[in-house]
Structure 1
Amino acid sequence: MKRRLFIASSALAALAPVGARAQVADLNDAINKAGRQRMLSQRASKAYLALVQKVEPRSAQQVLDRSVALFERQLGELKAFAPTPTLRATYDGLDGAWRAFRTELADAAPGREAAARVVALDAAVLALAHQGTAQYEAASGRPVGRLVNIAGRQRMLSQRMAKCYLAAAMQIDPAGSTAEIAKARTEFLAALELLRNAPEATAQIRQELVLADAQWMFFNRGLQRLDGAGASPALMSDVFVSSENLLAIMDRVTGLYAEIKT
């Protein structure tokens, strides 16, 4: 248990905004950060659902606070860097969707009804964040930009699966949540193979993907034990912690692809 919590704490620290770049460096960095906004929409919802169900409450509060802070900082950076009116319009729209989502996340007394609203609102944030990522990839026009986008999307899928698990445990659209987990699982595994076999994949990237495979096995084992409202606190905790660990690995992979300048 101590080992598991230590790993989770390390994952939290890896994604904390402290010490990260204050501005967007180039288009690869823009794709990385834009894609991270997708993940943060799902991670914030996951943390909120965990708090409602008293799953890893201390870590969940840290995840929520850091996700909100990082999203807001990166939103400002991406808006300032946006090279076209189309991109600026996307981020203006994202700003509005984020404000509504953030307001719901700030509910001082989270409950099931509020949790359902949070899950509904994160969809608009995710859609616009994905749109911005695709637009930045198109502006790049380089094959590595696509790989940064794909690797970055893995981060979002890890958080989306965990969020849907916790939503199903609360009976928030359980059938839809279960279907989303199955869809995300298929997409995640296909993308792992693509990233592993890409000509641009370095030895370091492949090494990180081996770690992702191992963490995926643990995470997926938890996902497969979903039993609706019968999910135990221990199972929900395992899914929460393993999703953080998988996220940290995929964030490193995305950063490594973003550093490729060819």
Structure 2
Amino acid sequence: MKRRLFIATSALAAAGARAQVADLNDAINKAGRQRMLSQRASKAYLALVQNVEVRNAQQVLDRSIALFERQLVELKAFAPSPAIRGTYDALDGAWSEFKRELAGLTPGKEEAARIVKLDAAVLALANQGTAQYEAASGKPVGRLVNIAGRQRMLSQRMAKFYLASAMQIDAAGSTAEIARSRAEFLAALEILRNAPEATPQIRQELVLADAQWMFFNRGLQRLEGAGTSPALMSDVFVSSENLLAIMDRVTGLYSDLKI
């Protein structure tokens, strides 16, 4: 399982390798990826505080910060309207505050609780920017890129709240957020699977997503049964990374459709 995490992480790093935004589909893809990175960075921070997957979590945190900053520059430069540029100017400010907290020298439960609050502002603005880019596209495939891209964020959000609950950071609220994200994730899988635009390759990737989801969801459900332990938290961390990699490929495949 640990070896598979490195494969997933390297695949995601390759996905962000384009030096600039190619078109509106690519803009929706990258804008949506910013949502995910806000949750992924928090997940990695919470893992580090609890000594879970320490080496991998540090790599995930460092790469998430670097990718977020690179894409933020690209999305601001590509912005086709003052409204979209304004969203990314605001996101720049929220991100700066969030990043300062992520780089704090004394991580602990109090700092982790602030991280969870700060990522909400980054997520909201990143989601706003994604919606604006989808509206600028005006094509059905743009909506599918957005939906597929949001699945990446939901995978990280569920894992983040699992780790937050393990630290007793609003445990009841964290459990409720996992339930909401789970319902949204499953509904979106059906939309992506049944979309007329779904190619055989996309459907094949979604079969892989179904299998990885089952493993990931079993880990999440243990929160209500066996609770948490370093081993269980490690399982959730790793399976969330693998699910993320699959959904990132699905998003890229929808983004590459020229229809």
Q: What interval of TM-score do these two structures reach, taking the shorter chain for normalisation?
A: over 0.9
Q: How does 1:103-182 map to 2 (within 5 A)?
A: 103-182=100-179
Match of 1:203 among 200, 205, 208: 200
Q: Structure 1: which 5+ residue stretches go unaligned?
A: none
Instruction: State the distance in 2 between where 1:78 and 1:229 align.
Output: 43
Q: 1:159 Cα shift?
A: 0.1
Other-structure match for 1:245 = 242
- Paired residues in the alignment total 259
Other-structure match for 1:233 = 230
State TM-score, norm by structure 2.
Answer: 0.98
- Work out whether 1:36 is the aligned partner of 2:33: yes
What amino acid does structure 2 have at the position aligned with 1:223?
L
State TM-score, norm by structure 1.
Answer: 0.97
Instruction: State the distance in 2 between where 1:98 and 1:18 align.
Output: 21
Instruction: State the distance in 1 between where 2:23 and 2:173 align.
Output: 38
Other-structure match for 2:73 = 76
After superposition, the C-alpha distances for 1:2-36 in whole angstroms (9 at most, x for unaligned) are: xx011111111112268710000000000000000
Q: Structure 2: which 5+ residue stretches go unaligned?
A: none
Other-structure match for 1:9 = 6
After superposition, the C-alpha distances for 1:217-257 in whole angstroms (9 at most, x for unaligned) are: 00000000005994110000000000000000000000000
Q: 1:19 to 1:125 in 2, by over 3 A?
A: closer
Q: 1:18 to 1:26 in 2, by over 3 A?
A: closer
Other-structure match for 2:18 = 21
What amino acid does structure 2 have at the position aligned with 1:169?
A
Q: 1:109 Cα shift?
A: 2.2
After superposition, the C-alpha distances for 1:65-114 in whole angstroms (9 at most, x for unaligned) are: 00000000000000000000000000000000000000000012210000
What amino acid does structure 1 have at the position aligned with 2:128?
Q
Q: Is the 8 A contact 1:158 1:243 kept in 2?
A: yes
Q: Is the 8 A contact 2:16 2:67 kept in 1?
A: no
Instruction: State the distance in 1 between where 2:36 and 2:180 align.
Output: 16
Task: Give the stretch that moved more between structures: 242-251 or 12-21.
Answer: 12-21
Instruction: State the distance in 2 between where 1:104 and 1:228 align.
Output: 32
Instruction: State the distance in 1 between where 2:60 and 2:225 align.
Output: 24
What amino acid does structure 2 have at the position aligned with 1:233?
P
Identity of aligned residues (%): 81
